[in-house]
């Protein structure tokens, strides 16, 4: 097909040497396309995470009290996150089933088009409500892509290369997240220099670009032979992508429910805790950067404007923004633009640091799982995620810690997702692989969607601690990593075993 050799006889598969030995051009093509689909998927997620504070600030700009605005930004940001995750879960269930029914390639095409186009729509938001609605629609596409992507790779790859290929698929998603961080950093600097306004809208327009990948998928990607055989088998055809079939079989039902609980640890841990670390560093750095910007502006201004800036700064410090004149409001808007631009630097560095660690953690899971087994590797990853996340949320205060503590947390937390990519396709047969994988990975997101809501409650519980409320909330929620440890003994070890048929 278009010059690709699409078959690799099992008898010719090398039994020694590097894991990629025996992969032909089509294997690499499939891995590349699936990795790009998931990479752009993660680009969208990270664009949302990084743009969330600025988007909430602009969409809630009618709130003038600083304390109320801070609380509203946190509240509606958490709501938008919950809605996005709920859309992700819904899309995962729908498209995971379609992946088994109509094929992996066709479903991947649909999911990429949906999440790309709806990301672009997010740039048109005028209120927090339509912003949340667009995020729900985007989540539909995002949720469906992972299950069909890993099912496709798992079924096409030679069995010896499968674990590392799946781990690499997940690890490469870190480049999507890092790309989003650099986009955020560049636009933040441009905003600080007064070159652009509303950079978060530009970020979402950029997020629409992956729709072009659908052209490649439509032209050259074909369905795996194992799926085609299942699709043409009369006895099985009626049950392709059937949740009834998934839950009527005791073995697959057990794998689905326990896999779901295992996924909840990582998904909640990442979306309700880990992905708030850029918000944490932005909050930590807000006061010193505000002081620095006002000091710089006062020192550089002419005497008359310096007096105006000093008077404005005194009102900002005492939170008397209701007393601002029209002239002071305009002046504050100019200074705030510089503050927001400066704040994107530590925020973007935090995101980059997380994902540099994540790349090595996700790929490292696949390598370690081949040596000591999937379950033992999950134990190490869950305990490491628990400890590293507590350390970050408890101790992170200085910029230099971004380069030390945050990559370690990213390595530990995101290694779990490398595990999900490797392990979940090994729990289900071909005719239910996308459905079962999607159920584990995405239904967990319905539970995870409650995570930000729990965080809202915890923020209120710890509200007496002021800016440190996010620290206490994050540390408290780290208990979710223990859920995965609880279910692991009841799940099978799949190391060295063929995919179920």
What the chain holds in terms of domains, given with CATH numbers, is 23-214+242-490 (1.20.1250.20)
- pLDDT tens column, 360-388: 999 899 889 989 999 999 999 999 999 99
Q: Which residues contact 173 (CB under 8 A, 6 or more apart)?
A: 35, 38, 39, 41, 42, 358, 362, 417
Does the pTM surpass 0.85? The reply is no
- pLDDT tens column, 28-83: 988 888 888 888 888 888 888 888 888 998 899 888 777 788 788 888 988 898 89
Q: What is the pLDDT of residue 13?
A: 54
Q: Which residues contact 25 (CB under 8 A, 6 or more apart)?
A: 3, 4, 5
| Side-chain half-sphere CA neighbours of 30 within 13 A | 30
Dig out the tokens for 74 from the structure.
């946190």
Is the predicted pLDDT of residue 9 greater than 50, yes or no? no
Q: Which residues contact 366 (CB under 8 A, 6 or more apart)?
A: 163, 164, 166, 167, 168, 418, 422
Task: List alpha helices for 60-125, DSSP H.
Answer: 66-101, 104-122
- pLDDT tens column, 476-493: 888 889 999 999 999 999
d(CA 368, CA 118): 38
Is the predicted pLDDT of residue 358 greater than 70, yes or no? yes
Over residues 337-361, the mean pLDDT reads 88
Task: List alpha helices for 373-468, DSSP H.
Answer: 374-395, 405-423, 433-438, 444-448, 450-461
Q: Which residues contact 464 (CB under 8 A, 6 or more apart)?
A: none
- pLDDT tens column, 270-313: 877 777 788 788 888 888 898 999 999 999 888 888 888 898 88
Is the predicted pLDDT of residue 1 greater than 50, yes or no? no
- pLDDT tens column, 391-446: 998 888 888 888 999 999 999 999 999 899 889 989 998 888 888 888 887 777 77
Is the predicted pLDDT of residue 14 greater than 60, yes or no? no
* Choice among 66-80, 113-127, 338-352, 460-474 with the minimum mean pLDDT: 460-474
Using the structure block, give the residue that is written with the tokens 């095409």. Answer: 109
Q: What is the pLDDT of residue 337?
A: 84
Over residues 78-100, the mean pLDDT reads 85
CA angle at 181 for the pair 178 and 186, rounded to the nearest 5°: 130
Q: What is the pLDDT of residue 142?
A: 82
Average per-residue pLDDT for the chain: 83
Is the predicted pLDDT of residue 5 greater than 60, yes or no? no
Q: What is the pLDDT of residue 164?
A: 85
Torsion of CA 391, 397, 403, 404, to 10 degrees: -30
Per DSSP (E only), the strands in 168-262 are none
Q: What is the pLDDT of residue 8?
A: 42
Over residues 223-242, the mean pLDDT reads 63
Is the predicted pLDDT of residue 132 greater than 80, yes or no? yes
Distances (CA, A) of 193 to 197, 292, 335, 339, 341: 10, 16, 11, 10, 8
| % of the chain beyond a pLDDT of 70 | 91
Over residues 208-215, the mean pLDDT reads 74
Dig out the tokens for 255 from the structure.
């794998």
Please count the helices (runs of H) and the strands (runs of E) in the chain. Answer: 22, 0
């Amino acid at each position: 097909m278009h010059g690709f050799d699409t078959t690799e006889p099992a008898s010719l598969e090398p039994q020694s040497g590097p894991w990629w030995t025996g992969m032909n051009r089509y294997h690499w093509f499939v891995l590349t396309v699936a990795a790009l689909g998931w990479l752009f998927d993660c680009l969208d997620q990270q664009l949302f995470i990084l743009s969330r504070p600025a988007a909430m600030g602009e969409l809630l700009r009618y709130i003038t009290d600083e304390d109320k605005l801070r609380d509203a930004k946190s509240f509606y940001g958490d709501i938008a996150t919950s809605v996005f995750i709920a859309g992700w879960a819904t899309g995962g269930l729908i498209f995971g089933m379609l992946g088994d029914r109509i094929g992996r390639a066709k479903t991947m095409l649909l999911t990429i088009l949906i999440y790309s186009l709806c990301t672009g729509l997010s740039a048109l938001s005028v209120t927090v409500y339509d912003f949340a609605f667009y995020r729900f629609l985007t989540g539909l596409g995002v949720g469906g892509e992972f299950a069909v992507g890993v099912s496709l790779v798992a079924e096409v790859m030679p069995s010896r290369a499968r674990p590392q290929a799946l781990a690499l698929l997940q690890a490469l998603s870190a480049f999507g997240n890092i790309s989003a961080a650099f986009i955020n950093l560049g636009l933040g600097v441009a905003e600080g220099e007064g070159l652009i306004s509303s950079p978060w809208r530009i970020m979402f327009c950029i997020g629409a670009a992956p729709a072009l990948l659908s052209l490649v998928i439509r032209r050259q990607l074909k369905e795996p032979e194992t799926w085609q055989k299942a699709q043409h088998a009369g006895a099985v055809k009626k049950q392709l992508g059937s949740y009834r079939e998934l839950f009527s079989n005791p073995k697959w039902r057990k794998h689905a429910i326990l896999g779901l609980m295992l996924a909840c640890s990582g998904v909640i841990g990442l979306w309700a805790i880990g992905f708030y670390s850029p918000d944490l560093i932005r909050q930590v750095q807000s006061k010193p950067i505000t002081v620095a910007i006002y000091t710089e502006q006062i020192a550089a201004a002419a005497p008359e404007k310096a007096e105006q800036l000093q008077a404005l700064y005194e009102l900002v410090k005492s939170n008397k923004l209701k007393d601002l004149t029209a002239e002071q409001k305009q002046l504050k808007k100019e200074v705030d633009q510089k503050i927001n631009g400066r704040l994107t630097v530590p925020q973007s560095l935090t995101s980059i640091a997380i994902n540099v660690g994540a790349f090595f953690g996700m790929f490292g899971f696949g390598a370690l799982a081949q040596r000591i087994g999937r379950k033992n590797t999950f134990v190490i990853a869950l305990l490491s995620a628990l400890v590293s996340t507590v350390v970050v949320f408890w101790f992170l205060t200085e910029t230099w810690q971004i380069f030390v503590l945050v990559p370690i947390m990213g390595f530990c937390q995101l290694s779990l997702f490398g595990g999900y990519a490797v392990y979940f396709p090994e729990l289900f047969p071909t005719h239910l692989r996308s459905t079962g994988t999607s159920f584990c990975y995405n239904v967990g997101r319905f539970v995870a969607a409650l995570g930000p809501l729990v965080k809202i409650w915890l923020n209120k519980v710890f509200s007496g601690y002021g800016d440190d409320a996010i620290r206490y909330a994050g540390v408290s929620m780290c208990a979710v990593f223990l859920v995965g440890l609880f279910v692991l003994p009841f799940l099978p070890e799949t190391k060295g075993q063929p995919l179920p048929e």
